[in-house]
Structure 1
Amino acid sequence: MLTGQTHSAQFDQMLRPSARRHIGFFATPLLSGCTAQGAPSFSIFGAYFPDWMLCGIIGVAVAVGLRVLFLVSGIDSILSLRLFTYVSLGIIAALLVWLVGFGP
């Protein structure tokens, strides 16, 4: 093992220049982001918002609404992991909105 050098310098010395070129070539498609069709978005008062943001807001609203409903009905007192329960319910609601509203 080489001593006195950082791990990244050791890694660079182990890779040949051709290997670095191949890594860069194969990593390029992973860094492409959104394609020509654009990101899914909608217009609210002239500004474009991504669809996931709407789904997230609805998920948070559903989780808060269910918390209020569970508090009123007394279900909240028997829940052992309240945080995980409400986060899971919010995520489920957000994913259902995504699937129904924007899915295939």
Structure 2
Amino acid sequence: MGERGPVIPFFGAYFPSWIACSLIGIISAVIIRLIFIKAGIDAVMPLRVIVYLFMAIAIGLASSILLFGR
């Protein structure tokens, strides 16, 4: 049968944990972007899209390790 990944029960349905971790990463990157705009860092930051993309990935992976131990 093979090993199944962790799932999250949500309103009676089961969702893969990577979806939750991806959403955590994306939402966190958006919040960090808003903070950077207020602080004036966003205007002078080079390659913004790449920076925010990798920020979302790093936060998503960190949340996966911290929440699910994977």
Match of 1:90, as an amino acid?
Answer: A
Which TM-score applies when normalising by structure 1?
A: 0.64
Which TM-score applies when normalising by structure 2?
A: 0.93
1:52 maps to 2:22: no
Matches of 1:84 and 1:39, distance apart in 2: 29
Moved over 4 A (4+): none
Match of 1:71, as an amino acid?
Answer: I
Matches of 1:55 and 1:44, distance apart in 2: 14
Matches of 2:23 and 2:62, distance apart in 1: 13
Look up the match of 1:22: none
Unpaired runs of at least 5, structure 1:
1-33
Q: Secondary structure at the match of 1:80?
A: coil
Alpha-carbon deviation of 1:42? Answer: 1.2
Q: Which has the larger radius of gyration?
A: 1
Percent sequence identity is: 36
Q: How do residues 1-104 of structure 1 correspond to structure 2 at under 5 angstroms?
A: 35=2, 37-103=3-69
Cα deviations by residue, 1:2-55 (Å, 9 ceiling, x for unpaired): xxxxxxxxxxxxxxxxxxxxxxxxxxxxxxxx71x4231010010100000000
Q: Secondary structure at the match of 2:15?
A: strand
Matches of 1:38 and 1:103, distance apart in 2: 14
Matches of 1:38 and 1:93, distance apart in 2: 23
Greater RCO, 1 or 2 (C-alpha within 8 Å, sep 6+) = 2
Unpaired runs of at least 5, structure 2:
none
Question: What do you get for the CA RMSD once the two structures are aligned?
Answer: 1.3
